Structure 1
Amino acid sequence: MKSPIHISSTQNKLIKNIILLKEKSRERRKTGLFVLEGLREFQLALKGGYEVKQVFFEPSIVSLNEINALIESFSGKPDIIEISKEVYKKIAYRETTEGVLAIAKAKSHELKTIQFKNKAPLILVAEAPEKPGNIGALLRTADAANVDTVFIANPKTDLYNPNIIRSSVGCVFTRNIGTGTTQELISYLKEKNIAIYCAALTASKNYLEVNFKEASALVVGTESTGLTDTWLENSTQNVIIPMEGEIDSMNVSVSAAILIFEAKRQRKIQ
């Protein structure tokens, strides 16, 4: 069992480093590190093969034995740091949490790292999602449907933003995720012979009339502006979810879920 380091001061350098990583995207990009919080998130990060550098725990909430049990089956043991209640209150992102935070090494999400498990992959593409909560919801939807890959085109924030980790409930650690510009992603999909289906209001087919059984990328844009012309000009087929009320759009994660689960339904009956 690894003996912990003890920290009781909020002015400790390691504690200041955690706060910096949580609050500054630039610091996360510069160091290649990020902060995760919560037992479930920690477990999913380990399951996803992330390298955990340091684990911080508050002993009145979670015991050292529990922490050691979590990491015992993994190589590359992280430093274990016991923190006081005052320190924990200072660095904890959520009020209702399980007494665990960790610093981990970010993964590369370049397109060249993406591997498909299926010959006819089902892919979700989101162009320039701005709200971390929407990105988290998209990742949860992708996890629920077990899509092959999620691509983020022209990302507005890094994937290790604490709000994305929290709203995805840790799915960011276990999904196959790639990032790139819109043009890079379009070129990639075409090179792989993956059909591009863009959610759009114009020149569109009812999504129920489209065949998603072959390799397919379902592309969604922002709720305010939709997809850029570049996607629409390169679309295999635009698709639309008919609206029966007064508005003509839904939350992006809801739209994505409808399209994804229709594709999954089709694939189950082929």
Structure 2
Amino acid sequence: MKHITSFQNPSIKNLLQLQSKSKQRRKQNVFVVEGQQEVDLCQSSGFEFVEVYFCPELYDEAKLKSVALNNAEVNSVSEKIYQKIAYRGGTEGIIAIVKAKKSTIAEVKFANQTPLILVVEAPEKPGNIGALLRTADASGVDAVLIADLKTDLYHPNTIRSSVGTVFTNQIGVGTSTEIINFLQSNSIAIYAAILQEAKDYTAIDFTSASALVVGTESSGLTEQWREASRQNIIIPMQGKVDSMNVSVATGVLLFEAVRQRKTST
């Protein structure tokens, strides 16, 4: 184990590059995670740790025994270095470089005949993706499929805003065409959250295999999803505005599906 005190250390320079540049994350096929909860969730979800950095002044070294390090390189860093490499304040003194998993549609598997799936089209803000993943985890969906992703799945802001649920959700990334073909080939009904020709979401039966599809707040869903949808769905607005935050709307839709499924059993 090395103790690092210099900002010029090549490992520290590389870590900072990985935090700030998606190109480097893709090139090395790794990402950075910090904080005990996120590290624990990453570990329990079967991710492989490549390097681990901890600050003795902030983190109890004995806790490293609970982290599945395997052959990961472990380094301690000074508090000054840790404050530099920590992406956010208030973390518990541990940061890890982790090998990324494949997140293709081919990797998605279902444990039952009636999966509940969230599909998100063309998300571009890491914070919004994280919030949607947190909502998906809370509702217990079988998978989150991301169509035409405009950013990095393992962006630090995605990990942070998801509170680690980027690790707990089963995620598949592909084009809209690939995901539509995947859903149709598995006989999964598509319900698109689109205003036009839509029915109240409470009038729809979500107890069979269902995919609820949401778009961005600015652009909504493309015509491709409208054509593929079995039925467009809408949440009736009771106030003065005609829309709500996409993560909130997604939560409303998913928990209605969860409620129906509990009632039907």
Equivalence for 1:198: 192
**Partner residue of 1:142 out of 136, 140, 144:** 136
Unaligned segments of structure 1, at least 5 residues: none
Aligned residue runs from structure 1 range 24-39, under 5 A? 24-39=21-36
1:92 is the counterpart of 2:89: no
Q: Which range moved further: 76-85 or 37-46? A: 76-85
Quote the Cα distance in structure 1 between the aligned partners of 2:32 and 2:69.
20
Equivalence for 2:162: 168
Quote the Cα distance in structure 2 between the aligned partners of 1:212 and 1:95.
41
1:130 Cα deviation after fit? 1.7
SS of aligned partner of 1:230:
helix
Quote the Cα distance in structure 2 between the aligned partners of 1:54 and 1:168.
22
Q: Is contact 1:128-1:222 (8 Å) kept?
A: yes
1:95 Cα deviation after fit? 1.1
**Alignment-mate amino acid for residue 41 of structure 2:** L
TM superposition score normalised by structure 1 = 0.96
The alignment-based identity, stated in percent, is 53
1:118 is the counterpart of 2:115: no
Equivalence for 1:61: 58
Q: Is contact 2:49-2:69 (8 Å) kept?
A: no
Quote the Cα distance in structure 2 between the aligned partners of 1:117 and 1:161.
29
1:47 is the counterpart of 2:47: no
Q: Is contact 1:52-1:102 (8 Å) kept?
A: yes
**Partner residue of 1:133 out of 110, 127, 133:** 127
SS of aligned partner of 2:237:
coil
**Partner residue of 2:66 out of 48, 64, 70:** 70
Quote the Cα distance in structure 2 between the aligned partners of 1:61 and 1:194.
48
Q: Is contact 1:196-1:236 (8 Å) kept?
A: yes
Quote the Cα distance in structure 1 between the aligned partners of 2:208 and 2:151.
31
1:117 Cα deviation after fit? 1.3
The Cα RMSD (Å) is 0.9
Quote the Cα distance in structure 1 between the aligned partners of 2:71 and 2:134.
29
**Alignment-mate amino acid for residue 219 of structure 1:** V
Q: Which range moved further: 191-200 or 245-254? A: 245-254
Aligned residue runs from structure 1 range 12-27, under 5 A? 12-27=9-24
Q: Is contact 1:10-1:86 (8 Å) kept?
A: no
Quote the Cα distance in structure 1 between the aligned partners of 2:189 and 2:38.
33
Quote the Cα distance in structure 2 between the aligned partners of 1:79 and 1:21.
16
TM superposition score normalised by structure 2 = 0.98
Quote the Cα distance in structure 1 between the aligned partners of 2:214 and 2:50.
35
Q: Which range moved further: 124-133 or 185-194? A: 124-133
Displacement over 4 Å in runs of 4+? none
Quote the Cα distance in structure 2 between the aligned partners of 1:77 and 1:43.
17
Unaligned segments of structure 2, at least 5 residues: none
1:254 is the counterpart of 2:251: no
**Alignment-mate amino acid for residue 30 of structure 1:** K
1:70 Cα deviation after fit? 1.7
1:133 Cα deviation after fit? 1.2
1:188 is the counterpart of 2:185: no
1:223 Cα deviation after fit? 0.8
Quote the Cα distance in structure 2 between the aligned partners of 1:66 and 1:180.
37
